[in-house]
Copies of this chain bind each other. A is one copy, B any other.
Amino acid sequence: MNTSKKSIQIQKTYEALFALEDVREIFRQSLPSGFNEAEQEQFDGAIARVKGILTDLEAGSGKPACTRVGKLEARTREEEFINIHPIQAAGRLTPEARKALISYGDGYSTCDNCRKPFRLDKISKPPVEEFHQDLARFLNMDQARVVPGARRGFQAVAQSLLEEGDHVVVSSLAHYTEFLAVEVAGGVVREAALNDENVVTAEAVAEKIEASLKESGRLPRLIMIDHFDYQFANEHDVVGIGRVAREYDIPFLYNGAYTVGIKPVDGKQIGADFIVGSGHKSMASAAPSGVLATTDEWAPKIFRTTEMVGDLTGRKFGIKEVENMGCTLMGGTLLTMIASFPRVRERTENWDEEVRKSNYFLEQFLRVSGSRVLSEWPRKHTLTKVDTTNSFDVVARTHKRRGFFFSDELKARGIAGEFAGATRTWKLNTYGLTWEQIKYAADSILEIAEKYGLGIN
| Measured CA separation A93–B5 after assembly (Å) | 32
| Measured CA separation A328–B150 after assembly (Å) | 11
Query: With A34-B6, A70-B342, A101-B332 in contact, is A184–B286 under 8 Å at CB?
Result: no
**Interface-side segment among A185-193, A235-243, A248-256, A397-405:** A185-193
Mark out the residues of chain A between 120 and 153 whose CB falls within 8 Å of any chain B CB in the assembled complex: 126-127, 130, 148-149, 151-152
Query: Do B80 and A338 touch across chains, with their CB atoms under 8 A apart?
Result: no
Mark out the residues of chain A between 73 and 122 whose CB falls within 8 Å of any chain B CB in the assembled complex: 73-82, 85, 87-88, 90-93, 95-113
Q: Is A430 an interface residue (CB 8 A)?
A: no
| Measured CA separation A338–B75 after assembly (Å) | 14
With a CB–CB cut-off of 8 A, which chain B residues contact A47? 54, 57-58
**Interface-side segment among A265-273, A311-319, A349-357, A369-377:** A311-319
Q: Is A10 an interface residue (CB 8 A)?
A: yes
Shortest A206–chain B CB gap in Å is 15
Q: Is A195 an interface residue (CB 8 A)?
A: no
Q: Is A442 an interface residue (CB 8 A)?
A: no
Query: Do A108 and B88 touch across chains, with their CB atoms under 8 A apart?
Result: yes
Query: Do A413 and B77 touch across chains, with their CB atoms under 8 A apart?
Result: no
Q: Is A223 an interface residue (CB 8 A)?
A: no
Query: Do A54 and B51 touch across chains, with their CB atoms under 8 A apart?
Result: yes
Interface flags for A16-51 (1: CB within 8 Å of B; 0: not) read: 111011111101111111111000000010010011
Query: With A69-B100, A183-B306 in contact, is A78–B28 under 8 Å at CB?
Result: yes
Query: Do A33 and B106 touch across chains, with their CB atoms under 8 A apart?
Result: no
Query: Do A106 and B91 touch across chains, with their CB atoms under 8 A apart?
Result: yes
With a CB–CB cut-off of 8 A, which chain B residues contact A109? 75, 88, 287
Query: With A27-B79, A32-B414, A148-B149 in contact, is A54–B50 under 8 Å at CB?
Result: yes
Interface flags for A412-423 (1: CB within 8 Å of B; 0: not) read: 011110001000
Shortest A354–chain B CB gap in Å is 15
Shortest A432–chain B CB gap in Å is 9
Closest to A18 in B: B99
| Measured CA separation A100–B105 after assembly (Å) | 10
| Measured CA separation A331–B80 after assembly (Å) | 19
| Measured CA separation A442–B330 after assembly (Å) | 29
With a CB–CB cut-off of 8 A, which chain B residues contact A436? 31, 36
**Interface-side segment among A171-179, A360-368, A387-395, A446-454:** A171-179
With a CB–CB cut-off of 8 A, which chain B residues contact A69? 96, 99-100, 103, 339
Shortest A110–chain B CB gap in Å is 8
Residue among A20, A152, A182 with the highest chain B CB neighbour number at 10 A: A20
Closest to A77 in B: B112
Residue among A32, A88, A190 with the highest chain B CB neighbour number at 10 A: A32
Q: Is A61 an interface residue (CB 8 A)?
A: no
Query: Do A88 and B103 touch across chains, with their CB atoms under 8 A apart?
Result: no
Q: List 8 A-B contacts (CB under 8 A).
A: A1-B32, A69-B103, A87-B111, A101-B332, A151-B326, A191-B313, A193-B312, A288-B288
Which residues from chain A sit less than 8 Å from chain B, CB to CB?
A: 1-3, 5-6, 9-10, 13-14, 16-18, 20-25, 27-36, 44, 47, 50-51, 54, 57-58, 67, 69-82, 85, 87-88, 90-93, 95-113, 126-127, 130, 148-149, 151-152, 154-155, 159, 172, 174, 176-177, 179-184, 188-193, 279-281, 284-288, 306-308, 310-313, 315, 317, 320, 322-323, 325-326, 328-336, 338-339, 341-342, 413-416, 420, 434, 436-437, 440
Q: Which 8 A-B pairs have the closest CB atoms?
A: A91-B107, A32-B414, A287-B331, A107-B280, A148-B148, A191-B312, A176-B317, A27-B79
